[in-house]
Amino acid sequence: MRENRDKKESTDPLEYYSQHSDITNPKAYSHLFSGLPTTVPELCRVVQNNFVHLLILKYNGKKAYGITMEDLQEKGRNLKEELNMVTIEEKLKIIYDIKSSPLTTKRSPVEQILGNCRDFALLLCSFLRHRGIPARVRSGCAKYLNPGQEFYEDHYVTEYWHTQENRWILVDSQIDEFQHKFMKITIDVHDVPRDEFVVGGEAWKWYRTQKVNPEKFGIFDFTGPHYIRYKLVNDLAFLNKEETMAWGGWGLGVVGDEKLSPKDYALLDYLAEVATRTDNKPFEEIRRLYKNPLLRKPDNWQCPVWFFGFEESGSKG
């Protein structure tokens, strides 16, 4: 997908985030957004009606939804392709190809598209922007996914502007009824506390002030300071509506620790301060910082195709 990064965009933060990016724009499938419910909890249920989470399906699919990954593969589904589609338009095409019905029509688990937390957050963000509500996806880590373990797991959520309350609210559209019970989640997933979901910049600040053990942040074997730095740079991209896949990085997000200079650390510390503000005042700085080639996704950057190393027997490859 080629993005038009030079197009004129609003300098007003709320107007900017109420407009689609190339990635959240449903384009040819915008008709599927007609007749959607209006409340955030209802929209979350629509998201859950159309996505099944890769890791839940892989490790608890039978218990959670009565199916396994093999059940999808037996339908001839290309699961690697589904997971690695970047744009909402591409995701909607697959959803509609599987079942040509409104997004609100009940779908069985085998009729849902394979996705991860980024995809759940992205679809809710797309729903909200389509209605003119300022929304963005945030890259960070969630403590509530591992209750009692003090581990902050790699995660993405949606953040939207609540006009009446004059604040940004974090929403986790992934957490369905099974996950609520299985993970023993007690927080309000439609207003996630900011110490339960920690954006990349906050994790970096905690690490730099030795508030936390950096090895308690990450996913699988990707943990520690390098991981936190990756999330800091990744979140800046999402704040600039470059909603990339959840894997693959660039610039200061991926360079080895031994190659970081004091100047690099100063830049990252400053970025963390700007990106963790919960008001709209740092918007111009967020946009300016993303022009820095050390932080900006290169124009020729290609996201690696990834399937978490899972076997794909039965799929089309």
- Alpha-carbon distance of 197 to 194, in angstroms, equals 5
- Alpha-carbon distance of 107 to 296, in angstroms, equals 39
In a domain? residue 206: yes
In a domain? residue 223: yes
- Is the Cβ–Cβ distance between 10 and 20 less than 8 Å? no
b/e map 221-235, b = 16+ CB within 10 Å: eebbebbbbbbbbbb
Per-residue pLDDT at 308: 65
Q: Which residue has the tokens 């007749």?
A: 35
In a domain? residue 305: no
What one-character DSSP code corresponds to residue 33?
Answer: G
Per-residue pLDDT at 315: 30
114 forms beta bridges with: 52
Query: Residue 248 burial (CB < 10 Å; 0-12/13-18/19+)?
Result: middle
- Is the Cβ–Cβ distance between 142 and 197 less than 8 Å? yes
pLDDT 10s per residue in the chain (317 long)? Answer: 334 444 578 999 999 999 999 999 999 999 999 999 999 999 999 999 999 999 999 999 999 999 999 999 999 999 999 999 999 999 999 999 999 999 999 999 999 999 999 999 999 999 999 999 999 999 999 999 998 889 999 999 999 999 999 999 999 999 999 999 999 999 999 999 999 999 999 999 999 999 999 999 999 999 999 999 999 999 999 999 999 999 889 999 999 999 999 999 999 999 999 999 999 999 999 999 999 999 999 999 988 887 765 544 333 22
Per-residue pLDDT at 310: 54
In a domain? residue 316: no
**Is pTM, for the whole model, over 0.75?**
yes
In a domain? residue 248: yes
In a domain? residue 8: no
- List Cα–Cα distances, 246 to 104, 111, 140, 239, 278, in angstroms: 26, 23, 11, 14, 23
Per-residue pLDDT at 236: 99
In a domain? residue 312: no
Q: How many CB atoms lie within 10 A of CB 10?
A: 11
- Alpha-carbon distance of 4 to 136, in angstroms, equals 19
- Is the Cβ–Cβ distance between 245 and 303 less than 8 Å? yes
- Is the Cβ–Cβ distance between 29 and 93 less than 8 Å? yes
- List Cα–Cα distances, 18 to 11, 90, 154, 161, in angstroms: 12, 21, 26, 9
In a domain? residue 1: no
**Nearest 5°: phi and psi at 142?**
-115, 125
- Which residues have CB under 8 Å from 12's CB, separation 6+? none
Structurally, the chain folds into a number of domains equal to 1
Per-residue pLDDT at 303: 86
- Is the Cβ–Cβ distance between 125 and 158 less than 8 Å? yes
Range of the domain at 258: 13-289
